[in-house]
Amino acid sequence: MDKLDRLGWTAAVCFVCHGLRIGVRANTPKVLDQLLELLPPGAKPARGRRVQRLYSVIAGGAKRGPGIRRFNMLYVDEVRLVRSTEWERVRTALEMDLQLYVAEFARRRVFVHAGVVGWRGRAIVIPGRSLSGKTTLVRALVDAGATYQSDEYAVLDSRGRVHPYVTKMSLRDSTRAQPEKVHPETLDWEVGVRPLPIGLVVVTSHRSGARWRPRRLSAGRAVMELLAHTVSARWQPERALATLRLAIANAKVIKGTRGEAEEIADALLSAAADGGERVAASAV
């Protein structure tokens, strides 16, 4: 760390996010300004120099001559995370690592990898791995009238309520190799601002042509499904289990394979409104 500290750092920022003190420093102020937009939701500037995690970013700059490669570097504390001539790789890795760090070690919140929308004062939570179709379903539900809460994490407090976590969405389509990053507010979506109790949890994956015939899960199985997508499951299993149990205490949890998202959006909103009974009944 000493060697890294001796480099010429000209700009630094300290912020607090969900009880974690994090620092980012760069070799030029201009670079730091570019990085500030990558801070996770809920980050607030903080005073002081002591941090729990320090990111160090060196921008290599333009190529100066033949045979000279200017690397961009990203370090987490003293560990090098990225060494690349492509600046975008540093940005992506920093954004991803920041989000994961906060999600894993947040002091008073439990992060579940899930899409979330609000509907009539309750949240619909769609847990799932990447590429399971969360964003597509969130998009279909918002188009059907729901309020956007999150595309990445369901952030649960100690009472089991879901807080909004608004970041740029990764919209994938078959014509592009890389997903397009879009902020939900630029799509004129209604974005949630308050924490909501969970009304419905939808455990689903997409299969083309599949018929939506969900089944209800017991409370224990529901917690297991959410735990499978909980970032801090290994770090704080006790708190994760207790929070998840509270979160689903008054929620219906359904599981099934779905076809196209638009086909089930209305059914899910109806299910959320009447406590899941309609969807469950249709499954029988």
Partner 1 sequence: MNPARTLMPLARTEELVVEQLPDETLVYDLKRHKAHCLNHTSSLVWQHCDGRTTTAQVARLLEEKWGLPRDERIVAFALERLRRARLLADGTHAPGDGISTSRRELVRKLAAVGGLTMLLPVITSLKSPLAAAQASTTTSAQCNLCIGVGLPCSDRPGKVCTANTPTQGKCRCV
The site for partner 1 (CB under 8 A) is made up of 81-82, 84, 86, 89, 92-93, 96, 99-100, 103-104, 111, 113, 129-131, 152, 170, 177-179, 218-221, 223-224, 227-235, 237-238, 241-242, 245
Q: How far apart are CA 206 and CA 214, in angstroms?
A: 13
Asked whether 219 and 248 are in contact (CB, 8 A), the reply is yes
What's the angle, vertex CA 37, arms to CA 21 and CA 48, rounded to 5?
25
Cβ at position 169, least distance to partner 1 in Å = 10
Of 111, 141, 151, 113, the residue nearest 129 (C-alpha): 113
Cα first-last separation, the chain: 61
Q: How far apart are CA 72 and CA 29, in angstroms?
A: 15
Distance, CA of 65 to chain centre: 41
Nearer to partner 1, 21 or 245 (CB): 245
Cβ at position 139, least distance to partner 1 in Å = 15
Cβ at position 30, least distance to partner 1 in Å = 23
Nearer to partner 1, 115 or 164 (CB): 115
Nearer to partner 1, 101 or 212 (CB): 101
Cβ at position 3, least distance to partner 1 in Å = 21
Question: Which helix H or strand E contains 88, and what residues bound it?
Answer: helix 87-105
Nearer to partner 1, 193 or 224 (CB): 224
Nearer to partner 1, 30 or 80 (CB): 80
